[in-house]
Structure 1
Amino acid sequence: MAGASLLALLDDIATILDDVAVMTKVAAKKSAAVADDVAAMTKVATQKTAGVLGDDLALNAQQVTGVRADRELPVVWAVAKGSMVNKAILVPAALAISAFVPVLITPLLMLGGAFLCFEGVEKLAHKFLHSEAEEAAEHESHVQANANPAVDLVAFEKDKIKGAVRTDFILSAEIIVIALGTVASAPFLQQVAVLVGIAVLMTVGVYGLVGGIVKLDDLGLWLSQKTGSAAQALGRGLLAAAPWLMKFLSVAGTAAMFLVGGGILVHGIAPLHHAIEGAGAAVAQGALGGLWQALATNGLNGVAGIVAGALVLGAVTVVQKLRKR
């Protein structure tokens, strides 16, 4: 009797172990399916934010122009850390707003777009509102600070870093919101996984590329000092191209402020958005119709960004004058 009870007990244990094995197998399949879903959604979100990634790269690469060579990577690293802090704030905030007050997403994005346009117009206005003598004096001050070992370069660069982190906050917010839109219908944990993945991927990608770009001239100098003729030729080519690349990125970064900021504002104003989309569709003819449509739409978004930035700058200037009085 005792032997039969023992056999029955062992049979029950074997049945339980079989059930556990089956459930473990099912759970593993479900986990793999969830991982595949997260990977697929992250890929889609990355593709949709690729355009903003290009703008982010252009805007941040120009932040280190004029910085002494041995201070370039520390500045990039400081901005990268600020960017991670931005995203650590934005990811939970975006998830909370999407869950509780999704109606606020568009107005907040529009405020960010208006700020980008304001910064762009301010950069353009600076060239017209300041004389060449003032520009020369500012440049000379910067050169002397870089050459003077007694100057605290970290403190000297603080404003530059703050400006870069502030601009990064706006672009990071757009990246996070675009990514959130691709996973809006997914379970909450998958939303978290995708947004965190995008935040890390974009930060590493942007600032890794920025670090590589700003050290191109050093790479060119190193190659030009090699004994091989091919290495020397490549080094001279990099040295010649590096200043032009930085100038291009500076111009592209300013243009990106209007394109991104104007695009955000236009998208939030339905009649204006439809009008610009209609204008783009009207020029979409022939084999290059898609190209003409993209140029027209982005061009009009840029014009809207310039107008909005000018209005904000005018309002800020009036407020400043009133406060002085």
Structure 2
Amino acid sequence: MSGGLFALLDDVAALARLAAASVDDLGAAAGRATAKAAGVVIDDTAVTPQYVHGITADRELPIIKRIAIGSLRNKIVFILPAALLLSQFAPWALTPILMLGATYLCYEGAEKVFGRLLGHAAHDTPAAAEGPDAERFMVTGAIRTDFILSAEIMVIALNEVADQSFWPRLIILFVVAIVITAAVYGVVAGIVKMDDVGLSLTQRSSGLAKKIGRGLVAGMPKLLSFLSVVGTAAMLWVGGHILLVGTDTLGWHAPYGLVHHAEEYVHHVAGVGGVLAWLVNTAASAVIGLIVGALVVGIVSVLPFGKKKSHA
């Protein structure tokens, strides 16, 4: 009897160890998938603060909360089931879909570049000054852009765990969706409220606190402007890189081969070869993104809805 009990306990312990190992494996896979999508995560983090630029302080966190909820809904309700179904029944469609999303990112980035060059961006009226309808429209636009970025994140993560069976894939992607959304919008909330923290510090009795507070208040508008530039550049970089890799995957190897050859040329530079190779790839991806985006902007501008948008 005791022998049977000890055997049962051994079996339970073995199952527990197996379950723990499975949890560790899932956690490691989720970590790898999240890291693989880091480029788009940076893009998402840099793009979002521009949507609360010019908004009154009391509306910043509510707007970020609405965008974050929309982002999580995008990932879990729409993108996750679609990505799993595609990976299960039509894995060949993932790369073209990823490239379509990348083309939209290139279009958004190029449109912002041309808007800055032509001076259109400088005349934007803050949503807070235009009323709740404009704010709602802005939030909808932010969630729509986030949908593309979220789709890129989830598909990149899915490609990283494509060798897993269905249920581990589901769990990993669910974890990735939660973690990335919390991280991105937590950082964004911290960024946009940093000036309020600075204002609070300026009212302290400590001279050092006042100095830090004044620095934060003076520096945050510059940081938000910088993040807007970074977000635009990241759109072009991420979109161009996905197109570069996607064309290679679909069989057109020349563009990727050319960039890869340029990377190898500088990779052997002592000490900084790895950094130079990354810069070459990033610059080439951004140029590709700008070219593709400019073509799409040109095409859209001659379409009926594009003309209406430009007149508006």
**1:105 and 2:94 are equivalent in the alignment:** yes
What stretches of structure 1 move > 6 A for 4+ residues in a row? 321-324
Deviations 1:28-85 (A, max 9, x none): 1211111111111122222222222211110112221111111111110011011001
Aligned partner of 1:82 among 70, 83, 103: 70
Tell me the distance in 2 between the aligned counterparts of 1:237 and 1:130: 29
CA shift, 1:188, in A, is: 2.1
Aligned partner of 1:277 among 239, 244, 260: 260
Tell me the distance in 2 between the aligned counterparts of 1:322 and 1:218: 39
CA shift, 1:322, in A, is: 9.8
Aligned pairs for 1:1-325 (under 5 A) are 17=5, 20-88=8-76, 89-129=78-118, 135-136=122-123, 138-139=124-125, 142=126, 145-146=128-129, 152-153=131-132, 155-270=133-248, 271-284=254-267, 285-320=269-304
Tell me the distance in 2 between the aligned counterparts of 1:321 and 1:91: 30
Deviations 1:138-190 (A, max 9, x none): 43xx48x53xxxx743x221222122112211221121122222221123221
Tell me the distance in 2 between the aligned counterparts of 1:322 and 1:127: 18
CA shift, 1:127, in A, is: 3.5
Identity %: 42
Contact 2:301 2:307 in 1 (8 A): no
Residues 322, 131 of structure 1: alpha-carbon distance in 2 compared, 3 angstrom cutoff: closer
Structure 1's unaligned 5+ residue stretches are 1-10
Amino acid across the alignment from 1:72: E
CA shift, 1:20, in A, is: 4.0
Contact 2:300 2:306 in 1 (8 A): no
Deviations 1:267-308 (A, max 9, x none): 111221121111222233232111111111110110100110
CA shift, 1:218, in A, is: 0.4
CA shift, 1:130, in A, is: 5.8
Tell me the distance in 1 between the aligned counterparts of 2:29 and 2:146: 23
Tell me the distance in 2 between the aligned counterparts of 1:161 and 1:43: 30
CA shift, 1:16, in A, is: 6.0
CA shift, 1:117, in A, is: 0.7
Structure 2's unaligned 5+ residue stretches are 249-253
Residue 6 of structure 1 aligns with which residue? none
Q: Say how many residue pairs are matched.
A: 301
Tell me the distance in 2 between the aligned counterparts of 1:261 and 1:206: 19
Give the number of the structure whose alpha-carbon radius of gyration is greater.
Answer: 1
- Pairwise CA RMSD of aligned residues? 2.2
Q: Residue 283 of structure 1 aligns to a residue in which SS? A: helix
Residues 20, 131 of structure 1: alpha-carbon distance in 2 compared, 3 angstrom cutoff: closer
Residues 321, 204 of structure 1: alpha-carbon distance in 2 compared, 3 angstrom cutoff: closer
Amino acid across the alignment from 1:85: R
Tell me the distance in 1 between the aligned counterparts of 2:214 and 2:260: 45
Amino acid across the alignment from 2:112: K
Tell me the distance in 2 between the aligned counterparts of 1:36 and 1:45: 14
